[in-house]
Amino acid sequence: MHTFNRSECNDLSSSGSKEWIVTNGIGGYASSTIAGMNTRRYHGLLVAATTPPVGRLVLLSKLEDALIIDGLRVELSTNLYGGRVIHPDGYLRLDSFSLDPFPIYTYSDGRFTLTKSIFMVQGSNTVVIEYLLTSRGDAHEITLEVRPLIAFREYHATTHENETLDSTLTETFGCVRVQPYSDLPALFLSHDADSVFADGHWYRNFEYAEERARGLDFSEDLFSPLQFKTSLTGRKRLTLIASTEMHSTADASAFRHAAIRRDTSLRYQNHCKGDLSELIAALERAAEQYIVSRPPLKTIIAGYPWFADWGRDTMIALPGLLLSTGQTEVARDILLAFRQSIDKGMLPNRFPEKGEVPEYNTVDATLWFFEAIWQYLTCQTDAAWREEAWHLIEADFYPALKNIADLHISGTRYGIHADEDGFLWAGDNTTQLTWMDAKVGDTAITPRAGRPVEIQALWYNALRILEELGRQFRDNDAADRYSGVASRLHSRFESVFWNHERQCLFDVVGGNSVDASIRPNQIIAISLRHGLLGRDRALDVLKAAERELLTPFGLRTLAPSDPNYRGRYEGDVWSRDSAYHQGTVWPWLAGPFFTAKLQFSEDPAEAAREARAWLEAFSTHLNDAGLGQVSEIFDGDPPHLPRGCFAQAWSVAELLKLAKAVNRSLHFAPFRPQAAQPTAHVV
């Protein structure tokens, strides 16, 4: 539960920077700040996913609301204009805010107490806003005025006053239909207000502070088509439903109960014990926000508010978001969906908007696919389930995985190929094929062409998985072939990648050059089940990473001692992207770091206690930035301010998976990860 008192709410520097989000399971959402002041172009009360999970449109930006108490106007909303002017100042009447399970604003000034609740309907581009007068002073007349402000634009853009907007309203009993542009869907505003006033006009020059700080278009004009008025003298409630479908406010109670039941069910199903139980419960609730429909199957949103579903992010996040929470059927569906999208032995890096061709500019998404499949195969101990899973892998995945490996060996896009020593090469200085993929125009900020260290680790892991599958399915010729490539790679890896001077691994080894930058990618080489280093070397890598990269919020992407280090992620697009992987902290990397530490430590119990302490300290972040969520990145320099997306899938997934592993190790059994063994399977 995330609750903030009056002093916190009335501090605009705090309440205007803490963001909330509620989602609808198809890629749409509602989002704003505790203050009710939109600070991003991505904020809105109804951001609809018109072609789930993409095609996002900001339809209803916000509501301007006020009470008229015995003739005196009391503003409840808050906006920023011109970088300095706050108008109205409704945040000063905000008595409390809670997110449990959805946003509830409580306004009060002694003469009244009014709550505003906001929740979404699952599977529908529908948001419900309920106002409830819970107490009154000695006022004789109280009237609530609510004015919708609409944007009707793609969520990466902004709206500006124009003459093409159609302000026509279509009214039926209890519902108003608005369609300002013929090529965009209509918005239905269902209500139980006493009266509707069609007095459309523009509100100009809203300023979005976060967009201004990011060097993007930060000013917007919004149109108000009407105003709702309701007397709260003889009644207590006003209900509004904004949707791309027509509803009745009589449905609001059922929608509310469904939202509460869903949250209660989630808490009950995923209940756990142990010191980290509260953090685990919070992360499990956060995880649900990313699982959305891409009809006819499911997919994983990489982050809110601006990412869609990405191949790399999905494969890294899937074990934590789904397998650790027991959602194996959803995990299976997502893996099947991505298998269908394989082209030339590669998974898509990104699914674009409807009608566009998927982008395959990634070398690691496909290799993480192998790891996700193996974790799916070994995530349960039930013999019947495992037998069924083995049959699924054999029938639906094994041929595709062999084809992927064969094309990686012989060669596919972007120069991806294996050499005679088994190393996997990829890319050139204009491509960004690994997760360090920042690119501005045609310039790759961190080009890693050649042999990136984590790609060799993932490739080796994939080959060993294929070998195991081949043995299991009695495809011994294939198993021998992949084993041979893996063995050659293993035998040469340390001599090629070990940096004797710094006692860690090189980041990239090309034909005639090496990148000796101390980066976190080497952690991947010791955190996967099939590792490339022995215990002593692995401990040296951990020491280097802990000394140079570990922070309270994750691992830096570059050591501060490096001349290219950038400690703050801020400024315009170029400034931010040039710092994205040059020191910026990524929380998801804490997962593989502590996993490796638990595995190789001479004292696993002490390593588990260290991981627990780190997680407990990190948990305070869940009440900062994106409430109940984990940010995408943090500054490399203290105080490590949160940056980027305020809700990131693989951040949540890796921390959730780690927290569960640590919780088990501390309270139920000594922790020492072992190579998972396949169950008996007869072909």
Question: What are the chain's domains?
Answer: 2-261 (2.70.98), 270-667 (1.50.10.10)
Choose among 511, 507, 483, 593: nearest CA to 545. Answer: 593
Coil, strand or helix: which one is 463?
A: helix
Rg of the chain over Cα atoms, rounded to whole angstroms, equals 27
* pLDDT tier at 458, thresholds 50, 70, 90: very high
479 pLDDT above the threshold of 70:
yes
**pLDDT at res. 437:** 84
Res 528: pLDDT: 97
- The answer to whether 173 touches 226, Cβ cutoff 8 Å, is no
Looking at residue 268, what is its pLDDT? Answer: 59
Average pLDDT value for residue range 312-318: 98
Distance CA 446, CA 508 (A): 11
Mean pLDDT, rounded, for 274-286: 91
When the pLDDT of each residue in the chain is averaged and rounded to a whole number, the result is: 94
* Average pLDDT score over residue span 214-231: 97
Q: For residue 96, give the nearest of 85, 107, 109 by alpha carbon.
A: 107
Confidence of residue 353 (pLDDT cuts 50, 70, 90): low
**Cβ atoms of residues 196 and 254 within 8 Å:** no
Q: What is the pLDDT of residue 354?
A: 65
- Residue that wins the pLDDT comparison between 183 and 266: 183
pLDDT over threshold 90, residue 347: yes
Q: Assign 655 a pLDDT band (cuts: 50, 70, 90).
A: very high
Least confident of 40-44, 177-181, 188-192, 668-672: 668-672
Overall average pLDDT of the 577-603 stretch: 96
Q: Has residue 5 got a pLDDT over 60?
A: yes
pLDDT (tens digit per residue) in 379-403: 998 999 999 999 999 999 999 999 9
Q: Identify the residue with better confidence: 4 or 429.
A: 4
Taking the CA atoms of 315, 320, 324 and 328 in sequence, report the sign of the dihedral they define: negative
* C-alpha of 49 from chain center: 16
Q: What would the two tokens of residue 76 be?
A: 């409840």
Whether residue 264 is predicted with pLDDT greater than 90 in this model: the reply is: no
Q: How confident is the model at residue 27 (pLDDT cuts 50, 70, 90)?
A: very high
Strands (E), 330-426: 417-418, 424-425
Residue 273's pLDDT band, with cuts at 50, 70 and 90, is low
Q: Is the pLDDT of residue 574 over 70?
A: yes
**Number of neighbours of residue 517 by Cβ within 10 angstroms:** 20
Question: What pLDDT is attached to residue 139?
Answer: 87
In the structure encoding, which two tokens stand for residue 178, read together? 């608005």
CA 329 centroid distance within chain: 21
More confident residue, 484 or 441: 484
Q: Does residue 674 carry a pLDDT above 70?
A: no
Which three-class secondary structure state does DSSP give residue 314? helix
pLDDT of residue 682: 34
Q: What is the pLDDT of residue 555?
A: 98
Quick check: 70 pLDDT over 80? yes
Per-residue model confidence (pLDDT) at position 84: 86
Q: Residue 679: which pLDDT band, with cuts at 50, 70 and 90? A: very low
Please say if the pLDDT value at position 450 is more than 50: yes
Between residues 337 and 35, the one the model is more confident about? 35
Contact between 516 and 532 (Cβ < 8 Å) = no
Band of residue 153 on the pLDDT scale cut at 50, 70, 90: very high
Where does the pLDDT of residue 549 fall: very low under 50, low under 70, confident under 90, or very high at 90 and above?
very high
Is the Cβ–Cβ distance between 636 and 583 less than 8 Å? yes
Instruction: Please give the Cα distance from 623 to 621 (Å, whole number).
Output: 5
Give percent of the chain above pLDDT 90. Answer: 88
Here the tokens at position 427 are 């890319």
CA-nearest of 51, 48, 43 to 103 is: 43
- Are 56 and 66 within 8 A, CB to CB? no
In angstroms, the CA 494 to CA 536 distance is 12
Given a contact cutoff of 8 angstroms between Cβ atoms, the answer to whether 543 and 612 are in contact is: no
Distance between CA 14 and CA 26 in Å, rounded? 30
Q: What is the pLDDT of residue 681?
A: 37
- Binning pLDDT at 50, 70 and 90, where does residue 683 land? very low
Q: How far is CA 167 from the centre of its chain?
A: 36
Instruction: Give the pLDDT of residue 440.
Output: 80
Strands 126-136 and 175-178: unpaired
